[in-house]
Chain A
């Protein structure tokens, strides 16, 4: 039933974009309240028979990754952007488009490629054993009649991430192009971009890393700041992916910070981490353990903070919309839609804040690793 929510989310966020006029919101919520709930429910005859509305599934579906980019509709009539599935199996690489699963995520529809048979079960792709017709699990939810190939598919999140990449390339090549042509300050959108670049330089990099060494880390800080911010904002659009709210993405970003700390940590930093000067010798190994743990915990905290904040925002909005279906009354929309709108606007702030915090703390940790101590 959850795909029925799509039009609502579409319209809701659409309203948000044009949120200047309160009138629109009022009209919209009134219209929603007046619509019979049946109109939504009846559009979905197949799903109707099998299950009742499960908010957890709906929310998990929306914040999770998937092999196709689903916009609206249900089953074969849905509007889904097919994305390439790339699998590393024991017998080599297999690629096909996600549309070959025919929108099946219950492990029913079998795709045959290169003599191997694949099913999509809750967006995990399994290679079925020779005799198996559909994927089966034991009590501990371990798969019994299939194996899991390495999945390097261009999923919805990867596609959304590539969209961010394209936007960033367009934006900043534009700004760089301006600077190549003329010496004066840019105007309009380029000026906004430059202001943000300077914000990262003057408010994040310089104070945290120091005047001498900040230039070396500017590419990372700028890229990570704009990547997170733009991705966060895109994630608020209707039908968009939850990229920065995906743990794999934040793990990757956190690893970059960790790598930069490890590579650029100077002698002083390692000395203070592994063999802290100025304390009794027997404490030193204990402190070394604590320091090394801290070293790892820092990027872990970064990755969890970003992931949790963005995912939480999405969950709140989806829960508010889900209330309409839990309580089975379109009238609830009159309350939950304005609330969701409020949260969405709040998320605009969070989008910037999280990008800022991630960049700020990365710069702080790097700054600690490269700091010159004049001491003891």
Chain B
């Protein structure tokens, strides 16, 4: 049995056995195994793809949420701003009106004070006149109680009158 001379018997058996082995395995082993592996790979790929889709959808949803939130925030800011403006306006308006009213009140008060003052002054004048007349009556009465004094008076007055 030479090392490098192929023996016909072994060659024959090897070929036959290998061929049969290949055919049997191809039908009963390789085909189902490769088929199952392929099916599994496909299902894994599908699962991965759908996971990716879900992730994207999630991201979209998140983005949408973010947008909505931003919108809401902007709206809130807007409303607040408006409210503030309104408040300021209202305050300003109220202040103006109050000022006006206060002014009117003050003016009226001044007017009435003036009137009161005038009335009081008139009253005082009247009283002063009356008092003056009374005083004058009393003084005149006292001064002119004697004849001499009456003459003196007339002289003086005449003197004065000439002076004028």
Contact = CB atoms under 8 A, between A and B. Distances in A.
Interface string A35-64: 000000000000000000000000010011
A237 to B, nearest CB: 20
Contacts of B29: 169, 172-173, 175-176
Interface in A191-221: 194, 197-198, 201, 215, 218-220
A368 interface: no
Interface in B1-34: 1, 3-15, 17-18, 21-26, 28-30, 32-34
B63 interface: no
B18 A223 contact: yes
Contact of B24 (A60, A169, A201): A169
B11 A251 contact: yes
A124 B18 CA distance: 24
A248 B22 contact: no
A79 interface: no
B128 interface: no
Interface string A218-249: 11101110010000000000000000001111
A161 B17 contact: yes
Interface string B107-125: 0000000000000000000
A217 to B, nearest CB: 11
Contact of A65 (B1, B4, B8): B1
B13 to A, nearest CB: 5
B37 interface: yes
Contact of A179 (B8, B9, B17, B36): B36
A198 B3 CA distance: 36
Contacts of A219: 22-23, 25-26, 30
A219 B28 CA distance: 11
Name which of B22, B26, B29 has the most chain A CB atoms within 10 A of its CB. Answer: B29
A223 B23 CA distance: 9
Interface stretch (A89-97, A146-154, A288-296, A322-330): A146-154
Contacts, number: 122
Contacts of B9: 86, 150-153, 155, 158
Contact of A194 (B1, B28, B33): B33
B21 A223 contact: yes
A223 B15 CA distance: 13
Contacts of A23: none
Nearest to B8: A150
A108 interface: no
Contacts of B17: 158, 161-162, 165
B37 A155 contact: no
A248 B21 contact: no
Name which of B1, B11, B40 has the most chain A CB atoms within 10 A of its CB. Answer: B1
A151 B33 contact: no
A65 B18 contact: no
Contacts of A122: 1
B33 A249 contact: no
Interface stretch (A252-260, A270-278, A344-352): A252-260
B4 to A, nearest CB: 5
Contact of B34 (A150, A154, A197, A255): A197
A100 B32 CA distance: 45
A248 B11 contact: yes
B14 A248 contact: yes
B25 A222 contact: yes
B28 A311 contact: no
B3 A252 contact: no
A220 B21 CA distance: 10
A185 interface: yes
A354 interface: no
Given A150-B9, A152-B9, A256-B18, A180 B25 contact: no
A249 B32 contact: no
A115 B87 CA distance: 131
B99 interface: no
B39 interface: yes
A228 to B, nearest CB: 10
A113 interface: no
A254 B14 CA distance: 11
A1 B23 CA distance: 44
Query: Closest 4 A-B residue pairs measured CB to CB?
Result: A219-B26, A179-B36, A172-B29, A248-B6
Interface of A: 60, 63-66, 86, 122-124, 150-155, 157-158, 161-162, 165, 168-169, 172-173, 175-176, 179-180, 183-185, 194, 197-198, 201, 215, 218-220, 222-224, 227, 246-249, 251-253, 255-256, 311
Given A161-B14, A194-B37, 9 more contacts: A123-B1, A168-B21, A184-B40, A197-B30, A223-B25, A247-B6, A249-B11, A252-B18, A256-B15
20 contacts: A60-B3, A64-B1, A150-B8, A154-B13, A155-B10, A158-B10, A158-B13, A161-B17, A169-B24, A169-B29, A176-B29, A183-B36, A183-B43, A185-B40, A197-B34, A223-B26, A248-B7, A249-B10, A253-B14, A256-B18
